[in-house]
Amino acid sequence: MLTREIQHLPDFIYPIDEWRLVEKRFYPRLLPNMETLFSTANGFLGIRGCHEEGSPVYQSGTLINGLHETWPIVYGEKAFGFAKTGQTIVNAPDGKIIRLYVDDEPFDLSKVKLLDYQRVLDMRTGTLDRHAVWEKFSGKQIRITSRRLVSFVHRHIAAIVYEVTLLNADAPIVLSSELASVQETQAPGADPRSNRTLDGTVLLAQSNYSRDYRIVQSYRTRSSGMTLACGIDHVLETQCLHSDQCCSDDGFGRVLFSINGQQGKTIRLIKFMTYHVSRSVPAAELCERSDRALDRVVGHGFETLLEEQRQYLDDFWELADIQVGGDLATQQVIRFNLFHICQASARAESVGIPAKGLTGTGYEGQYFWDTEIYVLPFLIYTAPRIARNLLLFRYRMLEKARMRAREVNQRGALFPWRTINGDEASAYYAAGTAQYHINADIIYAMRKYVEVTGDREFLYGEGAEMLIETARLWTDLGFFSFKKGGHFCLNCVTGPDEYNTVVDNNAYTNLMARENLWFAAETLEWLREHKSDRYSVLVHETQLRQEEIDEWKRAADSMYVPYDENAGIHLQDENFLNKRAWDFSTTPAEKYPLLLHFHPLVIYRHQVIKQADIVLAMFLLGDKFSLEQKRRNFDFYDPLTTGDSSLSVSIQSIVAFELGYFDKAREYMRYALMMDLADLAANVDQGCHIASMGGTWMAMVYGAAGMRDYKGKLSFNPRLGRGMQRLQFSLIIRGQRLSVEIDQEKNETTYLLKEGAGLVIIHQREEVLLTANVPVTVAIKEPYAPPPEQ
Amino acid sequence: MLTREIQHLPDFIYPIDEWRLVEKRFYPRLLPNMETLFSTANGFLGIRGCHEEGSPVYQSGTLINGLHETWPIVYGEKAFGFAKTGQTIVNAPDGKIIRLYVDDEPFDLSKVKLLDYQRVLDMRTGTLDRHAVWEKFSGKQIRITSRRLVSFVHRHIAAIVYEVTLLNADAPIVLSSELASVQETQAPGADPRSNRTLDGTVLLAQSNYSRDYRIVQSYRTRSSGMTLACGIDHVLETQCLHSDQCCSDDGFGRVLFSINGQQGKTIRLIKFMTYHVSRSVPAAELCERSDRALDRVVGHGFETLLEEQRQYLDDFWELADIQVGGDLATQQVIRFNLFHICQASARAESVGIPAKGLTGTGYEGQYFWDTEIYVLPFLIYTAPRIARNLLLFRYRMLEKARMRAREVNQRGALFPWRTINGDEASAYYAAGTAQYHINADIIYAMRKYVEVTGDREFLYGEGAEMLIETARLWTDLGFFSFKKGGHFCLNCVTGPDEYNTVVDNNAYTNLMARENLWFAAETLEWLREHKSDRYSVLVHETQLRQEEIDEWKRAADSMYVPYDENAGIHLQDENFLNKRAWDFSTTPAEKYPLLLHFHPLVIYRHQVIKQADIVLAMFLLGDKFSLEQKRRNFDFYDPLTTGDSSLSVSIQSIVAFELGYFDKAREYMRYALMMDLADLAANVDQGCHIASMGGTWMAMVYGAAGMRDYKGKLSFNPRLGRGMQRLQFSLIIRGQRLSVEIDQEKNETTYLLKEGAGLVIIHQREEVLLTANVPVTVAIKEPYAPPPEQ
């Protein structure tokens, strides 16, 4: 169900451009949203698209992945095992501020007369460029341009070139370049999806110094004890009349340039910023790192940064780009989405991907299952090294996941539903701790990574240990139910659909847990049978017993999968059909998302779904359902799905494609594509929906191109449907690069293995053998679905 | 299941006495518990049994029923419709403090040498009496006696007589009588059953004055805006050398008496205290009321208070007393329990009965269903006027209950699960808002009140309006389920058992809701058919439509009652049998109550029960079950019931009696009786369990005497079982007073109608016609159970 109309950005202000997001007019009404959409980031450091002058601003944000404050979660009524420590991303000191004064009058976009204005997020150069011409009351005209980047190559570096040109008169110019702590003062809202406002000062200034246009400051977070160093440095390519710099103990630093501006002579200030954070390194050492990082980039200059940025993105697009024929708007938004995933993940090393990337503080900067289920597929196929890092990050969380399992009286490990530092931060267990499926989601992603990349080292190393502990959790959590004919049941769990919580035998959870168990058993048995040293190590380290593996298999083999014979459908959960129907006809559009308008008990009592649940299972584990079964399930569940979660429509699109519901599939896809650019979730001011963006890649590749990769075996079943003429994308499979190009008009698909020894894929029913650099073009026949796995 | 051994109070310190609670030695180890048990209260005002000298003290408590502070409930994750305002009873200024200094040395029981000590809570005089002899290092001996009462007759008044006698020497004596604000500083614990600590000063001093040994102070609560006036006044029956008094703007007042103490001459200080509270009356006016109240009682003197107190209690015991033959310990504890109900309810006018009465701040001084289901039966049969007040108090809450229903998207009215001011204060909806059965519980109690008292004026007045709105809630909440053969189902509710929350079709809830609906339909139809003006008024005021009444009947007639044919048992909830069995054999005693040791999801996932649920339904609605059915249900559910709630064992006892499980019945009864005196819930320091105390009356009357009162028709089926020789109690039925005396040895029961025109009761199978003052003795035959209602 689509509860909102897509309202495109007005194109006389935001003209469509396939490689750029363009803003042709200063448009304050959309300022909060545009700060998000114009964000520049590299997965480690993100800067919201706020203007350099610091005003007007909705929410200034300089976000460092993983830099968080902790706070004790307060419950109205506490109970045993409730998560104790909340975690919230901290706004780092704002280093991008460059205030401009001409004749001592400040340049503030919202107050001045603009003769010209344009802002561009360029997805090939990786820069945010702004151009403006300001006319003062005196008639003096000033051209201001700025170019900003957060370097993909230098993880800790961002830079700005800020140019001022007096067009028709001389005037004294002052540039005040600042580095200032920002405390959010926004009041906590009623929307559980927004961030929490931290009370009081979080960043305690530690030390600072100022020298030769450079300022370095360090901080400690009050409660989580993280250290942070921030530095700014400047190159001014103009004679400076006078400069002044200061940094104060409360963490404010400024370098002030006074210049006798002359008509026609461009004043050019290059500002370099650097950020370092740590959970263990002392602040003083981080300051030294900042110094070194600044030395390095200042020495090479801004142009070098720019070239490296361009090169990085050329490489990125080479692998990641999706091309659609003709339709520029779609072309723009798919690239916009992929670019933002790149910005969220490129340098996410030893950290996860926050739900909003580094574009806003929504969802508190925390990591969810979003990464594994929605973003990793794209990364596995286009940037496997990043995918590996993210899985490694989960592995490093394993010890805390073991502790968390103990806290909730379980064996094995339970990964946190939401977290930054590895501790469970979900304060509402019904849509948190009860979402045990996070364990299986992580294993699912790990398996896909291994199957696609062939990285069995990871599988038998970190992977095997994760498999043991997650499998243990499942067998401890469930039981063989007499009432269910001895089947293995998982009660009191919450599946992906948060409108039905703490249910018995959620089909998604049971199916995904079954895969988790089978894969654990299979992997450990392989190691045992091959008498691998690794097996002995694992037995030693985890006290693994052979009987446990048997138990995993027994539980998986007997897993209960709720099904209603009369209706001929799988049950989202055992009692789903016993619920009351939701009266959609009397629910007006403004009552969505329901969670903001109805008590949870009211929602839980009804047959109403927030997001794809069994439909997601039919995509992820599509080989376990017949096409006919998929159709029956989809036909039943799709009309009940509000799509109140941004994670829903991409999945609905994929399954609709598979079922040949092309109109629906393309409508859902369009909705997924436009989620942020058209602000369909009405909260893009809080940040981009990175998972939904990952979902759009999946909708293209798994949906329109009909790719499936069960057990790592690639098949395609292209079905663009009406309106899409062409679809081209690349995939890396076990180091080999495959280009897929679907031509709807000619009704054919061309597969080209650009690198690699050879690859067998399946096009519809038929095997296609690909050898390097030999394109193979095959006709598209009627869409075909393989029979389900027995 | 009984998870703790009963540890009686050590009888060399607390010798058993059938009318008194005696403490023969100052015993600091039990000080926290004894402060609760020695509380004096009248239902409006309560003073914990702390010593007058203010030290040693565990938790000083001067509690006024309904005097509360409000605070915004903070949620880890908030959602729509969650209760917003917490309510916590406020510790009123402590007026009982009388500090004694002899030779300037303070008298502190925990530090001085005592030659003699005794403390007695006398349940006939309604006084707390203490006697002590103090020997100083100098050899000087001082006898100190005090007598304290909270007047049942004068709702706002408490008084203390404090006597000091120098036994063997002269000495200067100072008595410092104080009135001081107390802020609890106790840290909030992890136990959800304890109270919340309020931050900062709650009572803001308003005005004060001091004159002629009298001090009156007034306060305003910071957030809830209630007003409070407290006054103390003194009569000193000794020549006073010097007196000094002060009261400060921060709410501290003191009258200090300096006396040249002479050997053998008793110094006697009488202190009167008064408390007035209001939600609307200005503080200044409350001060005037305090003045007048003090004038009145000081004029009449302490002896008058004492006489009135004795008279009140004589009347109370005349109606309320239960006598058991021979067994002094049982005799003491049943009276102790009844006395504490009296103290919790006697003057509870325009307020409810807090879960802990006025003996402690546990459960934040809030009102629960405890009152209606556990305390009202006793009051209906022994103090119908008080019962009426309590129901009237609920009626006054109806408007807020209507608003609350709207807040959670429902029609009709939803009474708060926990409250002081009528607003829902439960911060955990799964064991709060979801306990919709509160609506039916209130109606059940109202119906019983009407049936036993014959007060149809209440039924057709306040009662009818409550019936309309509660019935509306039920029909709006539930639905006719296709999957359940068109039966009316109530999903996502929590029954009495809080170890199984948010379940579908909780049998207790469905059965109680059915009664609620039927009774609403019956009552409203009676009014309509009798063309009562009241009906027109109700139609006008509530927009009642005839179709609604039909809908209530249809819902009730089709109510789904979950039953398992194979097991032959009713299901506590629809899915109860699908749960995993709890492994009781590996759960050590110290892991109880489970809620303090297991995550809610772990508990919810298992077949484990906190408190009687379906067993409670089998008691309250016993005519809806056959004896055989009751046996099957009890046999199944009783072993799964931990009794982690103090509300459980009394009910288990009653049903065990009915089933002839006498050993079990008496063991449960003993456990219920000793709940507080033996601190079986391990938290009596937080206050007495008033509901459990009411449960002991029910265990005696409904359990041992086998009374049933379905539709107001009284029947008895005495079955004391071994060990209990005699049981005598009184009941008021429609203004007539019935005495019931069961003699186990003679195997006969004597019924005596002491007042009234005549009454027909059923003794076992047979009708017995009683006329005034003619005792009828009948033999006890084999226990008999009537067949269930068709």
d(CA B409, CA A478): 35
Tokens of A73: 């979660």
A interface mutation test: which of B70, B75, B80, B435 has the most A CBs within 10 A? B80
* B489 contacts on A by Cβ (under 8 Å): 578, 580
* B509 contacts on A by Cβ (under 8 Å): none
Angle of helix A302-320 relative to helix A328-345, nearest 10 degrees?
120
- Could you give phi then psi for residue A236, rounded to 5 degrees? -110, 115
Report the percent of chain B where pLDDT is more than 70: 97
CA A62 to chain centre: 17
Band (pLDDT 50/70/90 cuts) for residue B369 is very high
Contact criterion met (CB below 8 Å) for B512 and B444: yes
Closest chain A residue to the Cα of B505, Cα to Cα: A578
Collapsing DSSP to helix, strand or coil, A91 comes out as: strand
The average confidence (pLDDT) of chain A is 94
d(CA A482, CA B57): 55
Name the one residue in this structure whose structure tokens are 């002896």.
B303
pLDDT digits over B64-99, tens only? 999 999 999 999 889 999 999 999 999 999 999 999
**Cis amide prior to A56 (ω within 30 degrees):** yes
Closest chain A residue to the Cα of B84, Cα to Cα: A76
Does B580 lie at the interface with A, CB-CB under 8 angstroms? yes
Band (pLDDT 50/70/90 cuts) for residue B187 is very low
Residue, of B745 and A154, whose pLDDT is higher: A154
Contact criterion met (CB below 8 Å) for A178 and A217: no
| pLDDT for B186 | 42
pLDDT digits over A520-568, tens only? 999 999 999 999 899 999 999 999 999 999 999 999 999 999 999 999 9
Alpha carbon distances (Å) from A397 to A419, A462, B760: 10, 11, 73
Report the percent of chain A where pLDDT is more than 70: 97
pTM of the model: 0.94
Tokens of A28: 């304050």
| pLDDT for A1 | 81
Of residues B73, B77, B492, nearest to A427 (C-beta): B77
Whether the predicted pLDDT of B131 surpasses 90 = yes
Band (pLDDT 50/70/90 cuts) for residue A185 is very low
B429/A599 CB distance under 8 A: yes
* A79 contacts on B by Cβ (under 8 Å): 192, 428, 595, 599-600
| pLDDT for A285 | 96
d(CA A158, CA A63): 12
Contact criterion met (CB below 8 Å) for A202 and A221: yes
d(CA B647, CA B363): 14
Whether the predicted pLDDT of A193 surpasses 70 = no
B600/A81 CB distance under 8 A: yes
d(CA B269, CA A221): 59
Band (pLDDT 50/70/90 cuts) for residue A191 is low
A79/B428 CB distance under 8 A: yes
Give every CB contact of residue B401 below 8 A, 6+ residues apart in sequence: B413, B414, B415, B416, B422, B469
A599/B489 CB distance under 8 A: no
The candidate with the shortest Cα–Cα distance to B560, out of B489, B500, B609, B618, is: B489
Which of B:471-490 have CB within 8 Å of A? 477, 479, 481, 483-484, 489
Name the one residue in this structure whose structure tokens are 């700014």.
A232
A432/B77 CB distance under 8 A: yes
Of residues B80, B483, B596, nearest to A599 (C-beta): B80
DSSP assignment of A491-522 equals: -SB--S-TTS-SBS--HHHHHHHHHHHHHHHH
d(CA A527, CA A531): 6
d(CA B142, CA B263): 9
Q: Kindly state the average pLDDT of the residues A102-126.
A: 97
Of residues B86, B481, B605, nearest to A492 (C-beta): B605
Closest chain A residue to the Cα of B491, Cα to Cα: A605
To the nearest 10°, the Cα dihedral for A458, A461, A467, A469?
Answer: -140
CA atoms within 13 A on the CB side of A163: 16
- Helix locations, A530-661, DSSP H: 533-542, 546-557, 600-604, 614-620, 627-637, 649-658
d(CA B563, CA B580): 18
d(CA B688, CA B694): 11
Collapsing DSSP to helix, strand or coil, B757 comes out as: coil
B595/A86 CB distance under 8 A: no
The candidate with the shortest Cα–Cα distance to A273, out of A473, A51, A45, A475, is: A45
* A597 contacts on B by Cβ (under 8 Å): 80
Whether the predicted pLDDT of B240 surpasses 90 = no
Contact criterion met (CB below 8 Å) for B481 and B504: no
Closest chain A residue to the Cα of B83, Cα to Cα: A76
Closest chain A residue to the Cα of B582, Cα to Cα: A479
Which of A:422-451 have CB within 8 Å of B? 426-434
Which of B:175-214 have CB within 8 Å of A? 190, 192
**Which strand (E) or helix (H) includes residue B86?**
strand B85-91
**Number of Cβ within a 10 Å radius of residue A545:** 10
Burial class (CB in 10 A: 0-12, 13-18, 19+), A325: middle
Tokens of B589: 């005693």
At position B258, the amino acid (one-letter code) is S
Q: Which of B308, B372, B498, B515 is catalytic?
A: B498
Give every CB contact of residue A426 below 8 A, 6+ residues apart in sequence: A83, A416, A417, A418, A432, A433, B76, B77
pLDDT digits over B476-507, tens only? 999 999 999 999 999 999 999 999 999 999 99
Closest chain A residue to the Cα of B488, Cα to Cα: A580
A557: left (phi over 0), alpha (psi -120 to 50) or beta: alpha
Contact criterion met (CB below 8 Å) for A366 and A355: yes
d(CA B162, CA B144): 7
| ipTM score above 0.85 | yes
A192/B77 CB distance under 8 A: yes
Closest chain A residue to the Cα of B85, Cα to Cα: A76
* B597 contacts on A by Cβ (under 8 Å): 80
To the nearest 10°, the Cα dihedral for A688, A690, A691, A695?
Answer: 100
B77/A596 CB distance under 8 A: no
Tokens of A507: 């089909």
Pairing of strands B487-489, A323-324: unpaired
Angle ∠(A712,A715,A718) on CA atoms, nearest 5: 145
Alpha carbon distances (Å) from A318 to A154, A312, A347, A706: 20, 10, 18, 22
Does B494 lie at the interface with A, CB-CB under 8 angstroms? no
Which residues of A are identified as catalytic?
Answer: 498
pLDDT digits over A609-648, tens only? 999 999 999 999 999 999 999 999 999 999 999 999 999 9
Does A79 lie at the interface with B, CB-CB under 8 angstroms? yes
* A483 contacts on B by Cβ (under 8 Å): 577-578
Whether the predicted pLDDT of B194 surpasses 80 = no
Does A81 lie at the interface with B, CB-CB under 8 angstroms? yes
Report the percent of chain A where pLDDT is more than 90: 90
Burial class (CB in 10 A: 0-12, 13-18, 19+), A762: middle
B81/A599 CB distance under 8 A: yes
pLDDT digits over B244-266, tens only? 988 887 788 999 999 999 999 99
Burial readout B435-447 (b: 16 or more C-beta within 10 A, e: otherwise): bbbbbbbbbbbbb
- Helix locations, A8-91, DSSP H: 31-37
pLDDT digits over A14-50, tens only? 999 999 999 999 999 999 999 999 999 999 999 999 9
Band (pLDDT 50/70/90 cuts) for residue A197 is low
d(CA A613, CA A274): 42
Which of A:383-412 have CB within 8 Å of B? 407-410
| pLDDT for A326 | 78
Angle of helix A398-407 relative to helix A464-477, nearest 10 degrees?
10
- Could you give phi then psi for residue A703, rounded to 5 degrees? -80, -75
Contact criterion met (CB below 8 Å) for A309 and A149: yes
d(CA A229, CA A289): 8
Q: B712 CA to chain A: closest CA distance, Å?
A: 36
Collapsing DSSP to helix, strand or coil, B68 comes out as: strand
Closest chain A residue to the Cα of B577, Cα to Cα: A483
d(CA B711, CA B623): 10
The candidate with the shortest Cα–Cα distance to A274, out of A211, A343, A218, is: A218
d(CA A463, CA A445): 11
Does A76 lie at the interface with B, CB-CB under 8 angstroms? yes
* B82 contacts on A by Cβ (under 8 Å): 76, 599
pLDDT digits over A641-660, tens only? 999 999 999 999 999 999 99
**Which strand (E) or helix (H) includes residue B759?**
strand B759-763
Of residues A81, A427, A483, nearest to B577 (C-beta): A483
Band (pLDDT 50/70/90 cuts) for residue A268 is very high
Of residues B80, B428, B602, nearest to A409 (C-beta): B602
Strand B776-779: give its sheet, edge to edge.
B323-324, B726-733, B736-743, B748-755, B776-779
Count Cβ–Cβ pairs < 8 Å, chain A vs chain B: 151
| pLDDT for A249 | 80
B433/A599 CB distance under 8 A: yes
